[in-house]
Structure 1
Amino acid sequence: MENNVIPALRFPEFTDQWNSDKLGSIATFSKGKGISKADIDENGATECIRYGELYTVYSEVISEIKSKTNLDIDSLVLSDANDVIIPASGETQIDIATASCVLKAGVALSGDLNIIKSETDGVFLSYYLNNAKKYKIARLAQGISVVHLYSSQLASLNVNIPSPDEQTKISAFLMSIDKRIKILEKKKAELEHYKKGVMQKLFARTIRFKKDDGSDFPDWEEKKLGELGETFNGLTGKTKVDFGEGKPYIQYMQIFSNSQIDTSQFGLVKIEDGENQSKAQLGDVFFTTSSETPNEIGTSSVLTVEVDEVYLNSFCFGYRPNSLDELVPEFSQFFFRSENVRRKVIKLAQGSTRFNMSKLELVKIKFDFPKKDEQVKIANFLISIDKSIEKVGVQIEDSILFKQGLLQKMFV
């Protein structure tokens, strides 16, 4: 075969061309053996991998095993260290082209897994197949409702393989990037967990801030939501043809997905002169009125910036505080998503297959509110945590983009 293959990006100590071959010439193939979901036991004696976990749990390298089974070990197919596994069936062609290297020997491999054994570095091969050859593998898969990938098809795949030393260097480098990403993801998850815990304590008042002079803030006051503001409706009288151009409006997912309105995500709607439509303003709290589950009803988001002319979608309603000194916008974004508030709001859900909530009932609920100065202290503290979470999130995104850029140039 043609042997004139050099990647665009490589480590300087390597200059030799990569060797072109068929995967079937450098590897042997076998299949796993059935392990059903019912066979999984968290106290099982044998670690195991089910094919569905390649989509949901694992990436290119499998070092820690999630599942265990108590099936007779003699009835199982066990891994050798360095095995590369690829699903033998799946829902789509692109999903099935998912390779992972098993670093441990003795792991039971379930049915519907193609097992690739070779002298090639398995970690290198899994990264290589998942990136340089992903779409070619996808095109090999056959089927309509269920897609299948056979070892004979994998064997026909053209591959380009560097020297063992270069394989090892590439594998170690890419694993180091993935390790950094996992560390950052763990850090982000820990910050999110910390925020959730501290929010519960702040709004349950098991912890309290002090005033700047060290004295206590006043007790929180119980008030009905209707005493502090009033509700208003979203857009009325609009049809599908009215959307896509015109004035900005707050969309349902802007409310559902974030505690504060992302002003870069407005939709557009036609508003004629003289129309009687409610406009959103700084400090407004928006609630979803309908959801598929009771736990999602009344999800809130707050407009924390000044806007000129912005409307609200028709599947949500707004709540406008009488005074931003009584209900500080930055405080509201956390308060209405706190566990104490959500417990009360969820009780308003009505329905069976689809759940709805009455805004008239919402304003009757009594909540405990702190004074403005304490609201500001709470908001500033939680915002600082959010900024830390956002910073780590950006680092994760940057690392993933960096890895993707490398993968496009390091393989041929």
Structure 2
Amino acid sequence: MKTHNDSPRIPRLRFPEFQNAGEWEVKKLGEVANFLKGRGISKSDINNNGTQPCIRYGELYTHYNEVIKEIKSFTNLNGEGLILSEPNDVIIPSSGETKEEIATASCVKLGGVALGGDLNILRSSLVNGEFLAYYLSHGLKKTISKIAQGDTVVHLYAAQLKKLTIRVPKAKEEQEKIAACLSSLNEVIAGEREKLALLQQHKKGLLQQLFPQEGETVPKLRFKEFEDSGEWDYFNGDKLFEPIVNKNHNSDLPILAITQEHGAIPREMIDYHVSVTDRSIESYKVVEVGDFIISLRSFQGGIEYSKFKGLCSPAYVILRKKTELENDFYRHYFKTTSFIQDLNKNLQGIRDGKMISYKQFSEILIPFPSLPEQQKIAACLSSLDDLIAAQTEKIELLEQHKKGLVQGLFPVGN
């Protein structure tokens, strides 16, 4: 693949066999595709045992990428009145929550799939469907977001899409080559995502086996050197952890976001935008490395751990160990399903947005195996975390590569 100039009708990256194929043709989308509208398929119409494959518009955001080869949903709705796909159809939502997400196109490779309401259907014999789906989803994403209408609910109408200026290679073989290149990369990314899912599933299984479940005093899976160590001890939470309220700071520490995915992490490290005043920061608590934080969502996702020193809202409860123990052991334990269930047993009537108190935490029985066993379990799970982090980073790098590739494979400009 070679780089080219920045002509608005020639992509920056072009396959060698098309270097002398000339400029891409400028067309209106309505000139190369016929437009149809999907027909309503409600959520209640979905049936796992149904015989008619179908696609609902929301699935373009949550399940499918630019090329659809397998169908997720089925219905028993009669074929009469349904709009059925033809191979190479491109679908794009006609409604969504944001202008950015609505520019999401997919090529349906299968015929006979019922296409639900709130879907614009583009049917063309002149343009390769996969090529067009990638082009609309990436090369023209910003342009499409600009023509979408509405704020709370965003709409994208066929009349607007028909007027969209697109650039198309004269040779259909070039369209197919671009589509095949991006689809092969998508397959690589999908394969890496499957590996990540397997690692995450493996960790989930280990968490269930390395910690005792309800009614048990020893885990199902135990390292050989601890098999004869007897039952685990259990103590109330206040015997192992104490609440910390330290507001002695000059507001010069980073403000931490308390998240279920990343734990306690400086806000600037993630996409977290909440403004706070200097006066409100004065009341913030100091969080030290190794502290645990009870958040507003702890009854859903457990207790968070901080690998950073910083400040957090006074609404949160900060816990610090008061006896010798392995922090990483409890970092994992406080995210287990069994602990979250124990947490909720003491929280009758609590609702989203309510804080779990230290008193409620202190009444929960928490396992306390020997320190060497804590350390062994922590090391096992932390090494798996490292593998998951490395796999996640690999996927992110592939996504960045894809982003750069689609920017180079389509001409610049509108």
- Normalized against structure 1, the TM-score is what? 0.84
1:176 is aligned to 184
Q: Does 1:231 align with 2:243?
A: yes
- What pairs up with 1:20-169 in 2 under 5 angstroms? 20-119=26-125, 120-143=127-150, 145-162=152-169, 163-169=171-177
Question: In 2, are the aligned partners of 1:247 and 1:268 still within 8 Å (CA)?
Answer: no
Aligned residue type for 1:315: A
Q: 3-state DSSP class of the match of 2:252?
A: strand
> Which range is displaced more, 224-233 or 121-130?
224-233
Q: 3-state DSSP class of the match of 2:223?
A: coil
1:210 is aligned to 224
Question: In 2, are the aligned partners of 1:249 and 1:269 still within 8 Å (CA)?
Answer: no
Number of aligned positions between the proteins = 387
Q: Does 1:254 align with 2:258?
A: yes
Q: 3-state DSSP class of the match of 1:382?
A: helix
Q: 3-state DSSP class of the match of 2:405?
A: helix
Superposition CA RMSD, Å: 3.0
Aligned residue type for 2:159: S
Q: Cα–Cα, structure 1 residues 279 and 132, in superposed 2: closer, same or farther, change >3 Å?
A: closer
What is the aligned counterpart of 2:328 among 300, 318, 330?
A: 330
Task: Report Cα offsets for 1:5-42 as digits up to 9, x if no partner.
Answer: 21100111112121222222222222222222222211
- 1:368 Cα offset (Å): 2.3
1:4 and 1:302 map into 2 onto residues whose CA distance is 50
Question: In 2, are the aligned partners of 1:60 and 1:127 still within 8 Å (CA)?
Answer: yes
Aligned residue type for 1:295: Q
What is the aligned counterpart of 2:17 among 10, 13, 16?
A: 13
2:42 and 2:136 map into 1 onto residues whose CA distance is 27
Q: Percent identity?
A: 38
Q: 3-state DSSP class of the match of 2:293?
A: strand
- What pairs up with 1:164-313 in 2 under 5 angstroms? 164-204=172-212, 205-211=219-225, 216-233=228-245, 235=247, 246-248=251-253, 251=256, 253-254=257-258, 256-259=260-263, 261-262=264-265, 279-288=286-295, 290-291=296-297, 294-296=299-301, 299-303=302-306, 310-313=310-313
2:342 and 2:403 map into 1 onto residues whose CA distance is 45
Q: Tell me, which stretches of 5 or more residues in structure 2 are unaligned?
A: 1-6, 213-218, 270-274
> Which range is displaced more, 388-397 or 177-186?
177-186
Q: Cα–Cα, structure 1 residues 302 and 265, in superposed 2: closer, same or farther, change >3 Å?
A: farther
- What pairs up with 1:392-403 in 2 under 5 angstroms? 392-403=391-402
Question: In 1, are the aligned partners of 2:299 and 2:340 still within 8 Å (CA)?
Answer: no
1:335 and 1:121 map into 2 onto residues whose CA distance is 51
Q: Cα–Cα, structure 1 residues 312 and 76, in superposed 2: closer, same or farther, change >3 Å?
A: closer
Task: Report Cα offsets for 1:100-138 as digits up to 9, x if no partner.
Answer: 100000001122222111121100011011122222233
Task: Report Cα offsets for 1:206-251 as digits up to 9, x if no partner.
Answer: 010123xx87445311222222342223649xxxxx9xx7332663
Task: Report Cα offsets for 1:241-295 as digits up to 9, x if no partner.
Answer: x9xx7332663x3354435x44686999979xxx99975445432222x34x843
Q: Cα–Cα, structure 1 residues 332 and 320, in superposed 2: closer, same or farther, change >3 Å?
A: same
Question: In 2, are the aligned partners of 1:348 and 1:357 still within 8 Å (CA)?
Answer: no
- 1:337 Cα offset (Å): 1.8
Q: 3-state DSSP class of the match of 1:318?
A: strand
1:106 and 1:353 map into 2 onto residues whose CA distance is 43
Q: Cα–Cα, structure 1 residues 91 and 329, in superposed 2: closer, same or farther, change >3 Å?
A: closer
> Which range is displaced more, 145-154 or 105-114?
145-154
Q: 3-state DSSP class of the match of 1:356?
A: coil
Q: 3-state DSSP class of the match of 1:230?
A: strand
- 1:385 Cα offset (Å): 0.5
Q: Cα–Cα, structure 1 residues 155 and 33, in superposed 2: closer, same or farther, change >3 Å?
A: same
- 1:79 Cα offset (Å): 0.6
Aligned residue type for 1:314: P
Q: Tell me, which stretches of 5 or more residues in structure 1 are unaligned?
A: 237-241
Q: 3-state DSSP class of the match of 2:10?
A: coil
1:379 and 1:128 map into 2 onto residues whose CA distance is 46
Q: Cα–Cα, structure 1 residues 9 and 359, in superposed 2: closer, same or farther, change >3 Å?
A: same
Task: Report Cα offsets for 1:189-210 as digits up to 9, x if no partner.
Answer: 1111110111111011001012
